[in-house]
Amino acid sequence: MKSGSKKRIKQKGRMVEPEPFFPIPKFIAIQLSMVPDKERDKRTRDRIIAASKRRFMEQGIQRTKIEEIVYDLGMSKRTFYRFFKNKTDLLEAVVAEIFSMLFPKLFSIFSNDEQATVKLKRYHNFLVEELFRQVSLEFIADLEVEAPFLWKEIYQTRMILLQKMRSVIEEGQKSGQLRTDVDAGVVTGLIISIINQVGTPRGLVSLGLQPSILADYLFKMFFEGLLRRDNMEERL
């Protein structure tokens, strides 16, 4: 099966789509449904999101003012409020834009027929080189405070992804690529515990640790520890 392709399932004489790889957070579905039909309005909305994203990443959410965004765009507040009710609404759109671009890549990593070690390496590269390059520590630190409902949905999605990673580890153990003397559930539980303590906005800020660095440390520590000695060339 090609990377990212979907298999249709025959059920009681009819073809049905399989269950989604993981549920798309509600705020993303809502924001995608609000994209204007007119191309000109869509371009304007996209410009606002892009300018806001730059501001949010550079100086955080709390310090970013709507006045600064419209100034950057040479736009009136009246035009801004045609597309967004307030800064929280805008923040939802920014986060939705980031994740809606990344979900297809996540799907392709976990749903293809590649070896488990390849999937784990691709997931590591995705986190370090793509996802966490789009978000700053200032942005993450403010997100939990400014939009706790968004952070909660992102957290739940992250937990689902970690469970997917457990399945990949179990695949690697069954195929003989990864050590079998280490329980996949325990490894995943340890990673979740570390993320819950260190991978929170407060934890990252207190250590001055960028999310990409934490992801790199975790993957090298756990992934290389899971490799069989005769498979060490698979190191990250």
User: 224 with 235: CB under 8 angstroms?
Assistant: yes
The pLDDT score that the predictor gives to residue 33 is: 63
Between 69 and 107, the more confident residue is: 69
Q: Render pLDDT for 109-160 as a digit per residue (tens, 0 to 9).
A: 887 888 998 998 888 888 888 888 778 888 888 888 888 888 888 888 778 8
Residues whose CB falls within 8 Å of the CB of residue 191, separated by 6 or more in sequence, listed in order: 162, 165, 218, 222
Average pLDDT score over residue span 175-200: 86
Give the global pTM: 0.71
Closest residue by Cα to residue 199 from 217, 184, 187, 185:
217
**Is 8 a residue whose pLDDT tops 70?**
no
Average pLDDT score over residue span 177-196: 87
The pLDDT score that the predictor gives to residue 165 is: 86
Average pLDDT score over residue span 13-17: 40
Average pLDDT score over residue span 189-216: 83
Mean of per-residue pLDDT scores for the chain: 80
**Which top CATH class is 26-230?**
mainly alpha
- Rounded distance between C-alpha atoms, residue 230 and residue 178, angstroms: 10
Identify the sign of the CA torsion 147, 149, 150, 155: positive
**Is 26 a residue whose pLDDT tops 80?**
no
Phi/psi at 58 (5° precision): -80, -40
H/E stretch holding 138:
helix 137-146
Query: Which residues are paired to 14 by β-bridges?
Result: 11
**Is 3 a residue whose pLDDT tops 60?**
no
